[in-house]
Structure 1
Amino acid sequence: MTGETIWMTSREAADHCGVHIRTVQSWARRGHLPVKGLSPHGRPLYDFCDVARAEMVTRAKAKRVLVPAA
């Protein structure tokens, strides 16, 4: 690992986590997911590790787990 930060848009984060884009925006609004920058279009960018952490924390609080499709 080179230590490079992987940036994700809200759409990419939602696709990665298998949730709706509004869920990712909610995580950011509620403080679970810090915005680390802005895209050239002015849209929020998130650190991949922060996205994974927000997903884990919110799923744990909701007592939901991600089950792979059969």
Structure 2
Amino acid sequence: MTAYRPMARPPTLVPGPLAAREVGVAPATIRKWVQLGRLQAAGRAGRAQLFRLEDVFAAERAARGAGRRTR
């Protein structure tokens, strides 16, 4: 008997402004994380960069943790 395995779903990609809203930061913060190499776009839609939400949340956690270490 074959075990049930749910189908893998492709990651949901969202534009920068929506990603920023999801993690509670300004869109400029998303752009800064990209510039600093803390976040990488997973695709493009025209000129807009698209991000995986899990990557954005990871970058936000890393940024929050970096702020605690410098105090």
TM-score by length of 1: 0.80
Quick one: which of 17, 28, 32 aligns to 1:11?
17
Larger Rg: 2
Residue aligning to 2:61: 56
Unaligned runs of 5+ in 1: 64-70
Residue aligning to 1:68: none
Residue aligning to 1:47: 52
- Which amino acid in the other structure matches residue 50 of structure 1? D
- Cα distance in 1 between the residues matched to 2:9 and 2:36: 28
State percent identity of aligned pairs: 24
Instruction: Report the RMSD for the aligned CA atoms in angstroms.
Output: 1.3
Unaligned runs of 5+ in 2: 1-5
- Which amino acid in the other structure matches residue 27 of structure 1? W
Q: Which has the higher strand share?
A: 2
Q: List structure 1 runs of 4+ shifted beyond 6 angstroms.
A: none
- Which amino acid in the other structure matches residue 38 of structure 1? R
